[in-house]
Amino acid sequence: MPDFYAVIGNPIHHSKSPIIHKLFAQETQQDMQYEAILASLDGFEAAVKAFQQRGGKGMNVTLPFKLEAYALSTRLTDRANAAQAVNTLKFNGNNDILGDNTDGTALVHDIEVNQHVAIAGKSILLMGAGGAARGAILPLLKLKPRILAIANRTKEKAQVLQRQFSAHGNVLSGHYQDFSGESFDIIINATSASLHDELPSLPGGIFSKESLAYDMMYGEELTPFLRFAQQQGASKLVDGIGMLVEQAAESFFLWRGIRPETKKVIEILKNNGH
């Protein structure tokens, strides 16, 4: 009998996680099955429990359930504890649920290793203050950027994160318009706006020609954020496929104790038009 895993979210139809984990399982010769589960917005816990009862071993958690997954976990890794958001669950029987956050580790690996952009000494603008942003902050700060500015539609949410993480580095916070006239080396979209084909209310002028514009979301075409960055003159446009594959590899390692190769899987997804 194969071991069962799943990704859970709402929406979920766009998820590439089943393809990625199938490729990882083939590569590492693991006997496992992986599916996508659409949970109703008020039905996350019930869906997780039902999957556990079917013998599920672990889950990836995507929008909008990362904070609920954090609350549901009975134990947390250090990085999930720091993020206060969970994107990976591991079920160990006896209602023991280990919560992990592989987002930030995956993001910095994709930026530094796959995109060859160093984070140390750079100015970074992080857009958003939800679960995806939370997971990214500490791994980014560990690499010693010059500043990490957190911009959010609701300024107070960004300020909460600034207070939470300011001991780890130079963290600023504000509304998008508060950063008008500032330009950044790396601009990361951690909002869900691209899922709805929308663009957060970014001021012009934050991109320079050398800027890396990074959207955690991905689609068949450039996301609205990456289109805007391109119009503003940013030369390096990256979507979230690399991050998705890297965080999946981290999850796979947590579940199976084997770290799969990511490069070939990233290429397959990019060539197949994600």
* Domain residue ranges of the chain, discontinuous segments joined by +: 3-101+242-271, 104-239
Was 1 annotated as part of a binding site?
no
CATH architecture classification, 3-101+242-271: 3-Layer(aba) Sandwich (3.40)
Average pLDDT per consecutive 10 residues, the chain (274 residues; last block may be shorter)? 96 93 97 98 98 96 94 96 94 93 96 97 96 92 98 96 96 96 95 85 91 92 94 95 96 97 94 68
Was 264 annotated as part of a binding site?
no
CATH architecture classification, 104-239: 3-Layer(aba) Sandwich (3.40)
**pLDDT at residue 116, rounded to an integer:** 97
Q: What is d(CA 124, CA 186) in angstroms, rounded to the nearest whole number? A: 5
**pLDDT at residue 87, rounded to an integer:** 96
Q: Tell the residue number behind the tokens 């950027």, with chain if given.
A: 145
3-101+242-271 and 104-239 have identical folds: yes
Was 261 annotated as part of a binding site?
no
- 33 close to 2: Cβ distance less than 8 angstroms: yes
- What pTM does this model have? 0.91
Was 247 annotated as part of a binding site?
yes
**Known catalytic residue at 57:** no
**pLDDT at residue 29, rounded to an integer:** 97
Q: Of 66, 142, 209, 263, which one is the catalytic site residue?
A: 66
